[in-house]
Amino acid sequence: NAGVTQTPKFQVLKTGQSMTLQCAQDMNHEYMSWYRQDPGMGLRLIHYSVGAGITDQGEVPNGYNVSRSTTEDFPLRLLSAAPSQTSVYFCASSFRRGEAFFGQGTRLTVV
């Protein structure tokens, strides 16, 4: 049982580059979300989805795009990376109001 799988684990980008962080879950959860974790700021919600085709913004959505074409996958796209997006990114999934399960994280550095 893989749970929530994130790829890549580490990434270094140059300012202005774009990339996609991948997230997949095999628990048939309808809810999926992306968080970023920064020292002194804790974990903050970027975007979330309550089902295939439905997404919404969280607390810090600027500079990120998401889409959800299947129940299993919820990719996070950085359109034009900035140093302020250096962070650890976590994907999570759950049933509505249920126990949330997190991936192992993607550590992103933007230089």
Partner 1 sequence: KQEVTQIPAALSVPEGENLVLNCSFTDSAIYNLQWFRQDPGKGLTSLLLIQSSQREQTSGRLNASLDKSSGRSTLYIAASQPGDSATYLCAVYNNAGNMLTFGGGTRLMVKP
Residues that bind partner 1 (CB under 8 A): 31, 33, 35, 40, 42-45, 48, 50, 56, 58, 90, 92, 96-105
Q: How far is the CB of 16 from partner 1 (least distance, A)?
A: 28
d(CA 107, CA 85): 11
Q: How far is the CB of 32 from partner 1 (least distance, A)?
A: 11
Q: Residue 85 or 93: which CB sits closer to partner 1?
A: 93
Determine whether 29 is exposed, middle or buried from the number of CB atoms within 10 Å of its CB (0-12, 13-18, 19+). Answer: buried
What residues does 107 pair with on adjacent strands? 10, 88
Q: Residue 85 or 94: which CB sits closer to partner 1?
A: 94
Q: Residue 85 or 103: which CB sits closer to partner 1?
A: 103
d(CA 93, CA 31): 5
d(CA 48, CA 74): 9
Q: How far is the CB of 46 from partner 1 (least distance, A)?
A: 11
